[in-house]
Structure 1
Amino acid sequence: MKIAILDDYQNATQSLKCFELLADHEVKVFNSTTRGLGQLAIRLAPFDALVLIRERTAFNRALLAKLPNLKLISQTGKLASHVDVGAATELGIAIAEGVGSPTAPAELTWALIMAAARKIVPYANNLKDGLWQTASINPALNGLGFVLKGRTLGIWGYGKIGQTVAGFGRAFGMRVTVWGSEASRAKAEADGHTAAASREAFFEQADVLSLHLRLNDATRGIVTADDLARMRPSALFVNTSRAELVQTDALEQALQRGRPGHAALDVYTSEPLAADSPLLRIPTVLATPHLGYVEQDSYELYFRHAFQNVVDFANGAPANIHNPYYAANARR
């Protein structure tokens, strides 16, 4: 099969041990992202199978219809809303779903919390300029960091990642409070944490508030400007899940008003994030380039399953196919 691996920004996939699974196939790795429909259609038209790195490229009906040779989309990790499943099914394109792990995104979340709480990045950057124990040359931003022990960690979304982050919080001596579905709150209480009394109290009481929700129609824009305005001026807002969970522009405006006082972010509505993004101009924001799953062990896990799904499909034994009724519509 002719296979394309999309959006491999660091050209990392060919160095993975699991890349040898595709040894019998013709593989092209693209290291740059293309957004235009026409450009994408021209680039991808020759390929039988595409391996997608999470949601870095979206596939709507218009694009899928311009890919006559495409038979398989193999997804790294779990499928999200970036692929029009209905259109793919109608066009006879199979979508193979992969697996994920909560470990890397949970660890990155905690790294961001630790770094933001202790102002590690500005301290380190200023040290290179000869400034000792200086977080900022602006006196208003040159305050002390804070320890996590004894403070309240708010977690919205108590799935695998949220549970892991809650465990980190407990290990650091934090009070963990959870908001989310009734089932999530009950599970949190069963694990010895606290369920927030209300949504309002959840935002008002958290010293550190971290989102761990899946993005779907029900959760898009679920965090509102009113929610953020309830946060303390000293509070830290953390988002390593999806930027679209927050209402458009609400976080930027909230940070400029000082509630919450700080944010640590790994996800953005448009990625790669433009260098002139307003978020990067806010000094109280710690921003990383969507690194949640970008590490060696996660790549080996994600791509081994994605590549194996391609091999199985090529061998006439498709597995882990996500779209319903695919068999009845499959391209011959």
Structure 2
Amino acid sequence: MTKVLIATDKPFAPAAVDSIRTVVEGAGYELVLLESYTDKADLLAAVADVDGMIIRSDKATREVIEAAKNLKVIVRAGAGYDNIDLEACTENGVVAMNTPGQNSNAVAELVFGMMVFLARNGFNGTSGFELRGKKIGIHAYGNVGRYVGGIAKGFGMEVYAFDPFVAKETIEADGVKVVDSVEELYSTCNYVSLHIPANDKTKKSINFDLLNRMPKGGVLVNTARKEVIDEEGLIKLMAARKDFAYISDIAPDCKDEIAAKFEGRFFFTPKKMGAQTAEANINAGIAGANQIVNCIEKGDETYRVNK
């Protein structure tokens, strides 16, 4: 019998697991669960005889992929997939997929939750400021970026975007102003919401020179990946500019230094929280299950991310 493994050190909500089970068992497959595991050996044992696999932030390393001798398809329930060794998947004939768009609204809402929290000084009773009338720049106008733009307009913000991979007409059709360069985006906007992937071109690309272009009172909002931030440059900027703040749903490696030096100018969630809603859990889980079934049964590789 075809086996599908859910391997999640941060488990799906029970309702999501139930929904995944309905899809998987409805296809005549067996569903196997590995939840809240702490030992990599448990993961290596669990993948030994499975045909499909759904993960969240779990690391699908080369060792994991090569231990999964029957694996045909692995799906990252979420947009980012830098936790999958794509080269190892390709070499071993494994289709790697993500589930784009399923977590987008959850991430976008978190962007504004953190922005309001910072703007109101952590709700400590002191006077803060409003988002209305401020300029927000969306760095990468994908699924999450579009949701951020829509919510920002509801707040009465001026919305700008930079994404060389999305047609200008597509962005403008959403009522968003397009800028010609990443430098122009940061120079223009009070807030920048970051949605770029972590790859060889983007890692440490958000650096001192770029952030220093932001107007007085600039705030960087990162719900992407911590690796895209040049942390040495970030520390340098926060030391040089007492008006600058950084908020993120994934704490940087230098979080202790930021906490010690820049009180009131940062906020980090205790773990990556963008997709942590019941709705996103269910949506991404169901999408992953359907993609596995369709890939195995029909050869559908619509959301394949490896070559």
Q: Aligning the two structures, in what range does the TM-score lie when normalised by the shorter sequence?
A: 0.7 to 0.9
Name the counterpart of 1:130.
none
The Cα shift of 1:219 comes to 2.5
SS at match of 2:276: coil
Name the counterpart of 2:119.
117
After the TM superposition, which residues 241-252 of structure 1 pair with which residues of structure 2 at under 5 Å, given as runs?
Answer: 241-252=224-235
The Cα shift of 1:232 comes to 4.0
Determine if the alignment matches structure 1 residue 147 to structure 2 residue 130.
yes
TM-score, structure 1 as length reference: 0.74
8 A contact 1:263–1:285 mirrored in 2? yes
The Cα shift of 1:214 comes to 3.0
Determine if the alignment matches structure 1 residue 287 to structure 2 residue 273.
no
CA distance in 1, matches of 2:149, 2:97: 31
TM-score, structure 2 as length reference: 0.79
SS at match of 1:302: helix
The Cα shift of 1:118 comes to 1.3
In structure 2, give the amino acid aligned to 1:304: I
SS at match of 1:249: helix
The Cα shift of 1:208 comes to 1.6
Instruction: Find the partner of 2:30 among 19, 25, 33.
Output: 25
CA distance in 2, matches of 1:49, 1:235: 44
Instruction: Find the partner of 2:140 among 142, 153, 157.
Output: 157
Give the aligned length.
Answer: 297
Determine if the alignment matches structure 1 residue 256 to structure 2 residue 239.
yes
Unaligned runs of 5+ in 1: 124-132, 135-143, 326-332
CA distance in 2, matches of 1:47, 1:245: 34
CA pair 82-107 structure 1, distance change in 2 beyond 3 A: same
SS at match of 2:113: helix
After the TM superposition, which residues 50-61 of structure 1 pair with which residues of structure 2 at under 5 Å, given as runs?
Answer: 50-53=53-56, 56-61=57-62
CA distance in 1, matches of 2:11, 2:91: 34
CA distance in 1, matches of 2:215, 2:192: 11
8 A contact 2:221–2:248 mirrored in 1? yes
The Cα shift of 1:152 comes to 1.7
CA distance in 2, matches of 1:81, 1:253: 27
After the TM superposition, which residues 1-332 of structure 1 pair with which residues of structure 2 at under 5 Å, given as runs?
Answer: 1-10=2-11, 12-13=13-14, 16-21=17-22, 22-23=24-25, 25-34=30-39, 41-42=44-45, 44-45=47-48, 47-53=50-56, 56-78=57-79, 80-101=81-102, 102-119=104-121, 121=122, 123=124, 133-134=125-126, 144-181=127-164, 183=166, 187-196=170-179, 199-258=182-241, 261-268=244-251, 277-281=256-260, 282-283=262-263, 284-288=265-269, 289-312=271-294, 316-320=297-301, 322=304
8 A contact 1:209–1:236 mirrored in 2? yes
CA pair 104-62 structure 1, distance change in 2 beyond 3 A: same
The Cα shift of 1:146 comes to 0.7
SS at match of 1:6: strand
The Cα shift of 1:295 comes to 0.7
Aligned-residue CA RMSD (Å): 3.3
Instruction: Decide which structure has the larger Cα Rg and report it.
Output: 1
CA distance in 1, matches of 2:14, 2:52: 16
The Cα shift of 1:15 comes to 5.7
After the TM superposition, which parts of structure 1 deviate over 6 Å for at least 4 consecutive aligned residues? none
8 A contact 1:78–1:99 mirrored in 2? yes
CA distance in 2, matches of 1:172, 1:95: 38
In structure 1, give the amino acid aligned to 2:276: V
In structure 1, give the amino acid aligned to 2:274: G
Per-residue deviation, residues 228-251 of structure 1 (Å, max 9, x unmatched): 223345221111122222224332
8 A contact 2:222–2:248 mirrored in 1? yes
Percent identity over the alignment?
23
8 A contact 1:7–1:32 mirrored in 2? yes
CA pair 14-249 structure 1, distance change in 2 beyond 3 A: farther
CA distance in 1, matches of 2:69, 2:13: 28
8 A contact 1:244–1:268 mirrored in 2? no
Unaligned runs of 5+ in 2: none
